[in-house]
Amino acid sequence: MIFTTLNTIVEDILKIIRGSIINSTEPISRRQIEDWVHQYRALLIKQDLDKGYYPNPDYIQELNNLLVNDEASQGDFKTELKIPKTLDLRYKNGITWVGRYTPGNNTVYEHTLIPQSRFFWSRFKRYSFGENYAYLEEGYMHITNPGITPAFISIKGVFENPMEVMLMNNPSVNGDFPYPIPNNKLPVLKKMILETELKIEAVVPSDVTNDDKHNPKPV
């Protein structure tokens, strides 16, 4: 299966910046380019989704094995860890799906994502008693009816920084994971970074040697 990774995107941009000569002493850092990639990916996605488009599956990531604590607070349980920030869309957050499971149980229960205010009143409505609900508050995902504890949930959504999601799933991950963006958006993303961010950086003298010292080329 062919996919585009974060490292591949960064290397492509570096090659353009440095005239296809990559060395370790260039003043433009990989970290800076990674940040730009995340920022402009978020901008491109928001432009699409604010037009009312349904999220492209290539935008969506999944957080797995999030433990919900077993101390009920007003009838709900919440994740022990904050989840990465989702992309802010019109009138809603970027969460697309929430579900739970218990160890040894292959059944997945979907939880309907609702506003916190609606969750409070749903507990007093006869027709909604026992329903599986979820809501996001201050970075924590809350759910009802966790079943047997410990319980774990999975969350799918469009997140601002894909690397944060990957690190939460696997702390040892590097930039070789499939980057969640459609391939047809990559040329636009690279063009935006080069033209918007590097029109100033491009005048910085280039290092002509790869000796771990900054030896600028005369301009």
Question: Which of these CATH numbers, 1.10.3470, 2.60.40, 2.40.30, 1.10.10, describes 61-157?
Answer: 2.40.30
pLDDT at position 11 is 92
The secondary structure of 21-38 as a DSSP string is ---TT-SS-HHHHHHHHH
Residue 74 has pLDDT above 50, yes or no: yes
What's CA 198's distance to the chain center, in Å?
Answer: 24
In terms of phi and psi (left: phi > 0; alpha: psi -120 to 50; beta: otherwise), the region of 159 is beta
pLDDT in tens, 143-174: 887 766 678 899 999 999 999 999 999 999 99
Side chain identity at 101, as an amino acid letter? Answer: Y
Residue 38 has pLDDT above 80, yes or no: yes
Q: Lowest mean pLDDT: which of 77-86, 94-103, 209-218?
A: 209-218
Most confident of 71-75, 83-87, 209-213: 83-87
Residue 97 has pLDDT above 70, yes or no: yes
Residue 43 has pLDDT above 90, yes or no: yes
pTM (two decimals): 0.79
Residue 209 has pLDDT above 80, yes or no: no
Most confident of 23-32, 42-51, 69-78, 197-206: 42-51
Predicted confidence band of residue 31 (pLDDT cuts 50, 70, 90): very high
pLDDT at position 48 is 87
Q: Lowest mean pLDDT: which of 64-68, 78-82, 195-199?
A: 195-199
Q: Show me where the domains of the chain are located.
A: 1-59+159-219, 61-157
Greater pLDDT, 20 or 125: 125
